[in-house]
Amino acid sequence: MTLEAVLLVAAALFCVGLYGALSQQVVVMVMMGLELMLNGVILAAGAFWWFRAPAPDGQVLLLIVIAAMTVEMAMGFAVATLLHRSRGSDMTDSATDLSG
């Protein structure tokens, strides 16, 4: 269990999440992809903390990442609820008003 091994796993999780966030059409599935990406980030932060600098600052960073993930989830689901209520659809493709 070296730093490189844990980081590779974290990168794999990040890229699986990236694939999901880019390819999924439904808002909630895009959020699942984002969750996986943050999962990878948390694992990578934990690995860096243990293998390079086991100071309390790294743990604070982990807490901040977990809090940010929670906040993002809450707002994402609130927006998905509102989108569903006003448009009747849960696809990202029907929420492209600001693009182009």
Partner 1 sequence: MLVDILFWGLAVVAVASGVTVFVVDSMARATYALAVSFIAVGIMLVMVGLEYIGIITILMMVMEMAIMAVYMVMYMGMNPALLPMDMTHSKRWSAVLATGTFVLLAAGILLIPWPARVGAPAVDLVTSLGEAIMGPKMLAMLTISPVLFATIIAGLVIANPRGRYDRWGDNLKRGTPNDPIRGGLGR
User: Which residues bind to partner 1, rule: CB under 8 A?
Assistant: 1, 3-9, 11-20, 22-29, 32-33, 35-36, 39, 42-43, 46-47, 49-57, 59-60, 62-64, 66-67, 70-71, 73-75, 77-82, 84-85, 90-91, 93
At closest approach, how far in Å is the CB of 95 from partner 1?
13
Long-range contact pairs involving 35-42 (C-beta distance under 8 Å, separation at least 24): 35/69, 35/73, 37/13, 38/65, 38/68, 38/69, 38/72, 39/13, 40/10, 40/11, 40/12, 40/13, 40/14, 40/15, 41/10, 41/14, 41/65, 42/66, 42/69
Report in angstroms how near the CB of residue 63 gets to partner 1 at its nearest.
7
